[in-house]
A and B are shown apart, each in its own frame.
Chain A
Amino acid sequence: MSGHWLIRRIATSALVLFVALAVNFAIPRLMPGSPVDLLAGGAKLSTEAREALVTRFGLDASLGEQFWRYLLGAAQGDLGLSFAYFPRPVRELVAQALPWTLLVILSSLVLQVLIGYFAGVASAWNAGSRTDTVLSTVSLVFFSTPLFWVAMVLLYVFGFQLGWLPLGGAYTIGAAYTSLFARVGDIVSHAVLPVVSLTLAQYAAYQLILRNNLIGVRKEQYVLIAEAKGLSDAKVKHKHAARNALLPVVTFLGLSFAMSVGGAVFVESVFSYPGIGKLMYDSVVSRDYPTLQGCFLVFALVVVAGNFLVDVAYRFLDPRIQYAS
């Protein structure tokens, strides 16, 4: 049973990736202007050199053949050559950037869940009270405020004005570290602002989900019994009720990946953080189309992989669910 489910799930993921590839392939060819200009215009050489590039990129072949070659290339990790850093392969640029993005996204997801959890529990336990209103309004305001603007303001306050945290980058360039600890500290201090900005903009959903869920749970019998037994309030909260929050949170984690990669583009741009988001922003600025599209693919991959892991985790956590085959 479970094997069947897994195969099905892997096939779905593969299909999504295939669609992402197809979309990626189609976009430059659907846009106004010839794909030759867009895909080979980056290296502004002579006309002969241009022709040579057209041949090199295979733009003279039929569409079907081009797509087949594109898929084969992508399967081998070949994402083409960057225009802006020609002739560096997009794969190399992306590989350098990906760990930083994962660092920011994953740290932020952990923080989002933690903040969302505490705020959600506090709201639910005091539903309708002033605490609930304040917490819910605050999260809603953060949710409605443009992420890049929150990031700009944080950069201004903590970077420019107070000088507490670095203004950008992921680590001090060319630094001689006295210890491993110093190195980790350097990386952490650079990641603080990006992670905090991303977290502020996106924790609201967790709070809301938990709040709505726990208000229901609270009314359930066993919580009442626990209270009657005279367990301390905090113990009841965190031992019994919040355990029920696990599944909705895990469910939402999948959606969170898609939101977080979007957010990464903004925070990394504002803080010059050298991840995929910044690479994508830079490619927009320099109209480095192959890199731009490479970034999109990697983001799609991150989202699909994230969703897949979440689904597996969900199944692992909730034995009640029987997946129909």
Chain B
Amino acid sequence: MKRQEKWLRLWRRFSRRKTAVFGLCVVGVFIVATLLAPVIVPYGPSDRAGEPFEAPSSSHWLGTNDIGVDVFSELVYASRISLLVGLVAAGVIVLVGTTVGLIAGYFGGYVDEALMRVTDLVLILPRLPLMIVMAAYLGPSIWTIVLVYSVVGWASLARQIRAQVLSIRESSFIEASRALGAGKGQIITDHVLPNVIGIVLANGVMEIMFAILAESGLSFLGLGDPTHKSWGVMLYFAQLQGAFLRGAWWWIFPPGLCIAALACAFNFVGTALNDVLSFSEARQ
């Protein structure tokens, strides 16, 4: 009952922010579009439904690409891949980052020291170049992108979680549980985890944004999977097939705007969550 109230309070505070609600709506629109793709789009994502490089018209809302595929249909289907990669990568990062942060923060000592040294190193190595090197060896596939992004992405979350855990580790209620004979695992799941969930949530949302941006970037560099067209892969093909020279702005602008819109939306939501949750934690 009490917990429910707390969440309701948080939601009220969150929903007062215009940008946050706007972001949430945008995310919602994209998710709906992704789920309903076959219903929304007039053609299949690889059907050659028109002539090459047709300008936008009533039959092709966003024109066609170099082989006559309807750009709108391709765009809607591509949102599936972009979102999928973003969500999966963010999920992996949250999982790894939280685990490392909890372990380091709670156990402390040598474990903490070792984990944090590794974290520091991952943080300081240039991210994108490292991802490029790994992806080049692994070959183009969406799982490659998820993997290389996860390898470099977990560190900053782990650091924040650890800091939070350190601050609550010595708090009175944990001391009390310890005195009552609760095991370490139980303390982590019962007391520590609920107290870091806010950070995890806010960061997880931000990580989706970063993962979507990273996916588009790597795909644009030709490291994406050309058979699973995401927005980044669409732009890769557009650049390769001379979309600008053909004046096909309708092939270049929509994927870029979609990435920007979705990334912005996650950013708005993440920022708002961060403010709302850290504020509530600060008051506790």
Binding site for B on A (CB under 8 A): 15-16, 19-20, 23-24, 27-28, 31-32, 38, 137, 140-141, 143-149, 152-153, 155-156, 160, 258, 261-263, 265-266, 269, 280-281, 283-285, 287, 289, 292-293, 295-296, 299-300, 302-304, 307
Q: Are A280 and B132 in contact (CB under 8 A)?
A: yes
* B220: A residues at CB distance < 8 A: 146, 148-149, 266
In the bound complex, CA of A146 to CA of B132 (Å): 16
Q: Are A265 and B129 in contact (CB under 8 A)?
A: yes
The stretch of B40-48, B171-179, B257-265 that contacts the partner chain: B257-265
In the bound complex, CA of A16 to CA of B117 (Å): 10
Smallest beta-carbon distance A293→chain B, Å: 6
Q: Are A19 and B217 in contact (CB under 8 A)?
A: no
In the bound complex, CA of A152 to CA of B134 (Å): 25
Tell whether B49 is near chain A: CB-to-CB under 8 Å: no
* A148: B residues at CB distance < 8 A: 216-217, 220, 235
**B212-223, CB under 8 A of A: which get 1 and which 0?**
010011001111
Name B216's closest neighbour in chain A (CB-CB): A146
Q: Which of B127-159 contact A (CB under 8 A)?
A: 127-130, 132-134, 136-138
Cβ-Cβ contact count across A and B, 8 Å cutoff: 126
Q: Are B264 and A20 in contact (CB under 8 A)?
A: no
Q: Are B126 and A146 in contact (CB under 8 A)?
A: no
* B223: A residues at CB distance < 8 A: 284
Among A146, A152, A261, the residue within 8 A (CB) of B129 is A261
Smallest beta-carbon distance A59→chain B, Å: 16
Q: Which of B206-242 contact A (CB under 8 A)?
A: 209, 213, 216-217, 220-223, 232, 235, 239
* A302: B residues at CB distance < 8 A: 126
Q: Are B264 and A27 in contact (CB under 8 A)?
A: no
Q: Are A146 and B213 in contact (CB under 8 A)?
A: yes
* A23: B residues at CB distance < 8 A: 125, 130
Query: Contacts A16-B121, A266-B217 given: A303-B126 contact, CB under 8 Å?
Result: yes
Smallest beta-carbon distance B2→chain A, Å: 33
Q: Are B137 and A265 in contact (CB under 8 A)?
A: no
Tell whether B104 is near chain A: CB-to-CB under 8 Å: no
Tell whether B267 is near chain A: CB-to-CB under 8 Å: yes
Q: Which of B238-260 contact A (CB under 8 A)?
A: 239, 244-245, 249, 252-253, 255-256, 259-260
Tell whether B180 is near chain A: CB-to-CB under 8 Å: no
10 tightest A-B contacts by CB?
A262-B128, A149-B256, A144-B263, A145-B260, A31-B137, A144-B264, A299-B129, A299-B126, A296-B129, A261-B126
In the bound complex, CA of A258 to CA of B253 (Å): 28
Among B134, B249, B255, the residue within 8 A (CB) of A27 is B134
Q: Which of A137, A146, A265, A299 has the most B CB atoms < 10 Å from its CB? A: A146
Q: Are B222 and A284 in contact (CB under 8 A)?
A: yes
Name B255's closest neighbour in chain A (CB-CB): A149
* B216: A residues at CB distance < 8 A: 146, 148-149
Name A287's closest neighbour in chain B (CB-CB): B136
Q: Are A146 and B124 in contact (CB under 8 A)?
A: no
* B222: A residues at CB distance < 8 A: 284-285
Q: Are A303 and B217 in contact (CB under 8 A)?
A: no
Smallest beta-carbon distance B18→chain A, Å: 10
Smallest beta-carbon distance A31→chain B, Å: 4
In the assembled complex, 23 residue pairs joining A and B whose CB atoms fall closer than 8 Å, in A order, are: A15-B121, A16-B124, A140-B267, A141-B264, A144-B213, A146-B220, A146-B263, A148-B220, A148-B235, A149-B235, A258-B124, A258-B125, A258-B127, A261-B129, A262-B126, A265-B132, A269-B221, A281-B221, A296-B130, A296-B132, A300-B126, A303-B126, A304-B124
In the bound complex, CA of A155 to CA of B126 (Å): 26
* B132: A residues at CB distance < 8 A: 265, 280, 284, 292, 296
Q: Are A146 and B127 in contact (CB under 8 A)?
A: no
In the bound complex, CA of A281 to CA of B245 (Å): 22
Q: Are B124 and A152 in contact (CB under 8 A)?
A: no
Name B136's closest neighbour in chain A (CB-CB): A284
Smallest beta-carbon distance A258→chain B, Å: 5
Q: Are A149 and B129 in contact (CB under 8 A)?
A: no
Q: Are B267 and A144 in contact (CB under 8 A)?
A: yes
Q: Which of B161-189 contact A (CB under 8 A)?
A: none
* B268: A residues at CB distance < 8 A: 140
* B133: A residues at CB distance < 8 A: 24, 27, 292-293, 296
Among B137, B217, B245, the residue within 8 A (CB) of A146 is B217
In the bound complex, CA of A50 to CA of B46 (Å): 41
* A15: B residues at CB distance < 8 A: 121
* B260: A residues at CB distance < 8 A: 141, 144-146, 149
Name B268's closest neighbour in chain A (CB-CB): A140
Smallest beta-carbon distance B90→chain A, Å: 15
Among A19, A152, A289, the residue within 8 A (CB) of B136 is A289
Name B260's closest neighbour in chain A (CB-CB): A145
Extra A-B contacts (7), CB below 8 Å, given A146-B216, A283-B136, A292-B136? A16-B121, A19-B121, A38-B137, A262-B129, A265-B129, A265-B132, A266-B221
* A27: B residues at CB distance < 8 A: 133-134, 137
